[in-house]
A and B are shown apart, each in its own frame.
Chain A
Amino acid sequence: MVKKSKNKDKIKPTLKSFNCRSCGSTVNIKILGNTINVTCSSCKAIIDANDPNFKILQEGTSKRTQEPEIPLNSRGKLFGVLWEVTGFLVKSDGPYYWTEYLLFNPYHGYRWLVEVDGHFAFYKRIHKSFAYNTYTKNISYKSNGYKIYNRGLAKVEYVEGEFFWRVKKGDTTEVADFINPPYGLSCEQKLGEVNWTLGHHVDQQRVIDAFKLKDGLLASAGVGALQPSPARARFQKYFKTLVASLAIIAIVQVLRMVHADNKLVHSDVIEYTRSISPNYKRGESNSYKSEVFSISGGKSNVKLWAKSKIRNAWIYLDALLVDAKTQKGIPISLEISYYRGYDWSEGSLDSSKFAYNVPDGDYYLNIKTRGGGSLRNSELITIKVYRDTIIYFNLIFSLVLIGILPLVTYLASFNFETQRWSNSDYSPYVHWDN
């Protein structure tokens, strides 16, 4: 931390005062040693503060193009430092205009608070040479990439206050803004002198609170160039969760695949017969009862799989997996249906159905078949019973479920970015036809 002198008294900053050579009003310079350009608070003439005679550089027009929303000389604490508004500029580039507040603190130097359509950004100078020309689209700074957002000619429309550089109405500078929200890199060029500044978005409310603006600020319009996207933040959060969930699901699935028994416990071929003869299969009326098979290895799922080579027909297997000891049945019914034309098909020749948490024991199947469509009088159906098989449905269902929030927030984020870039000539969302 910076320690200030203890043994010496506080120094009262001195002012330099003189009379404006244009209107005679008193002009004060507060930031001695730095200010070289000052405006008369009364007639707004721009004066050379470095000149012993305080010559007028540009006569003032009493008309203000825009009232500063943050008053000159007001002070506010932003990011832990007390700043004084020492200068106010209005600049334009064609139909667009924006305002810039020059902030000062003798221990911290200068900063800029730039306002565009009610969106604020706080900039400080950076000191390095960039590989840059007027075609540069991407710039890297401290291993972050910045994309070109705006390039143009900024024209000074209005000047008020104290400045450490020469500035007057009509001055133009080449400007380029590169963004990586909430950060931005800006380049100003004039007569070979290049200045780079690094900025970040500041919430309007923070500016209002800092400078205690009783009437607040005009509402912001649209999405600011550096405005952080709430949807993007949410998307990133959900995306992280998504990745973590996918990892867990993948591990669980792999473990299932490794450990799944997938054991065939029973297989048979049964027959569907159109019930012309009610006494088919020794009077069992087209129903099938399997021999008893044993299921062991712990509670697990049981899969009934069935296949029949039918065409344009359906067969319903009204099936029960019956515990041979208790005679309790677990429903495990399924339907096979298959239709086809010369260039289409619908349904499938096979089908399967699960019963869950089936305890070990001896079981048999009890199946009644029904059918419809162009069935022959008799159709053969292969059936197989497995225990402890991998269920892919759970996997797919959970993937869809955990994918919903990331997808919704991604779309919202996309929408936000489209709005952000709507004020830029370099929007990645718009493709201009030549």
Chain B
Amino acid sequence: MLTLPCPSCGGPLNFRSKTSLFTVCEYCRSSIIKKNADIESIGKMAELPADLSPIQIGSRGRFKGSRFYVAGRIIYSWDDGTWNEWYLLFDNGKTGWLAEAQGEFIISFPLEGQKIPPIEFFAHHKHFKVDSQKFSLSDRKNIHYIGSEGELPFKALKDYKSTVCDFLSKEDDLFLTIEYPAFVEKPFAYVGKYTSLKRLKMENIRLLEGWS
């Protein structure tokens, strides 16, 4: 783990992963960009809206035998709500995301080596094959960025907007999402599973008064 002083307040900034390129100072809420060993403050991050999420930075869990650490979070918003994307650092060096929306959890990983069709494709097509698994388009929405905390593998931009296509398959809980950023050519695809805190054997989760 790399610890550097915050260029704004001098507080410690922890970079648990070499792949982290962005963080928010937990003391002064400065947004920090990291380039190699250099760090630069690019302004203050607004206070994040309160929520009842049971996850927090520092929560730990397990997926398919590998332990992960919750290192960061992005909050996105769409017409009918907001959701959290928790950035996961695995002990084996892999990274992933834990999406939390409407009380449901999805763990997902970048889909590599697969040609992703342009967004226009899904205007007429409802299905998409990954390997031999057929996915069906279940939801499509325009999203924008609200805020972030902790480490992230990219710079979280205030004006970030994208269109997200979510897919389900015939296999229970299997999930695919393709994100088409508004100002970037390349789409991102993630595959994963619907899961639960219990199945992820989550530890160090938030203690909410009155709840168990």
CB distance from B102 to the nearest CB of A (A): 5
Provide 27 A-B residue pairs closer than 8 Å at the C-beta atoms, listed in order of the A residue.
Answer: A3-B202, A5-B56, A5-B59, A6-B204, A8-B206, A10-B207, A10-B209, A11-B206, A13-B52, A16-B50, A33-B53, A33-B82, A34-B52, A36-B81, A82-B211, A107-B197, A108-B197, A125-B104, A127-B168, A128-B168, A128-B171, A128-B174, A130-B170, A164-B102, A164-B103, A165-B102, A194-B138
CA distance A211 to B203 in the complex (A): 29
Contact with B along A169-199 (1 / 0, CB 8 A): 0000000000000000000000001100000
Residues of B within 8 A of A30 (CB): 52
Contact count band on B: 35 or more
Instruction: Render A125-160 as a binary contact track against B, CB cut-off 8 A, 1 for contact.
Output: 111111100000000001000000000000000000
Chain A nearest CB from B86 CB (Å) reads: 13
**CB <8 Å contact, B201 and A33:** no
Interface check A109, CB cutoff 8 A: yes
Any chain B CB within 8 A of the CB of A214?
A: no
- Contact string, B176-212, partner A, CB cutoff 8 A, digits 1/0? 0000000000000000001011100111111111111
New contact pairs (18) apart from A30-B52, A127-B194, CB-CB < 8 Å: A2-B202, A4-B204, A4-B205, A5-B59, A10-B209, A11-B209, A33-B82, A34-B51, A34-B52, A36-B81, A50-B81, A82-B211, A82-B212, A106-B53, A106-B103, A108-B103, A110-B103, A165-B102
For the complex, is A12 an interface residue (Cβ under 8 Å from B)?
yes
**Do most interface residues of chain A lie in helix, strand or loop, or is the interface mixed?**
loop
Report the number of A-B residue pairs with Cβ-Cβ less than 8 Å: 124
Query: What separation, in Å, do the CA atoms of A105 and B52 have in the docked complex?
Result: 10
Does A14 count as interface, using CB distance less than 8 angstroms?
Answer: yes
Q: Is the CB of B211 within 8 A of A107?
A: yes
Give the complex CA separation of A175 and B180 in angstroms: 32
Binding site for A on B (CB under 8 A): 49-54, 56, 58-59, 80-82, 84, 102-105, 135-136, 138-139, 168-175, 194, 196-198, 201-212
A1: Cβ under 8 A from any B Cβ: yes
A32 adjacent to B51 (CB under 8 Å): yes
* In the bound complex, CA of A130 to CA of B136 (Å): 10
The answer to whether A33 and B54 have CB atoms under 8 Å apart is no
Instruction: Give the interface SS of chain B, mostly helix, strand, loop or mixed.
Output: loop
Q: Is the CB of B49 within 8 A of A32?
A: yes
The 7 closest A-B pairs by CB, nearest first: A109-B103, A33-B51, A129-B136, A3-B203, A10-B207, A129-B168, A127-B194
Question: A234 interface residue, CB < 8 Å from B?
Answer: no
A166 at the interface (CB under 8 A from B): yes
Task: Pick the residue among A3, A107, A166 that contacts B80 (CB under 8 A).
Answer: A166
Q: Indicate whether A33 sits within 8 Å of B194 (C-beta atoms), given known contacts A107-B211, A109-B102.
A: no
| B210 nearest in chain A by CB position | A13
Interface residues of A in 1-53 (CB under 8 A from B): 1-6, 8-14, 16, 30-34, 36, 50
Complex: A129 Cα to B136 Cα, angstroms: 7
Chain A proximity of B53: nearest CB distance (Å): 6
Q: Taking the nearest CB of chain A, how far is it from the CB of B77, in angstroms?
A: 8
Q: Which of A2, A12, A128 has a CB less than 8 Å from the CB of B173?
A: A128
Which residue on chain A has the smallest CB distance to residue B175?
Answer: A127
CA distance A361 to B134 in the complex (A): 82
Q: Which residues of B contact A194 (CB under 8 A)?
A: 138
Query: Quick check: A106 and B211 within 8 Å, CB to CB?
Result: yes
Residues of A within 8 A of B51 (CB): 32-34
Taking CB atoms and an 8 Å cut-off, the chain A residues in 51-99 that contact chain B are 82
B138 in complex: contacting residue of A4, A6, A129, CB < 8 Å? A129
A314 at the interface (CB under 8 A from B): no
Q: Give every chain A residue within 8 A of B210 (Cβ-Cβ).
A: 13
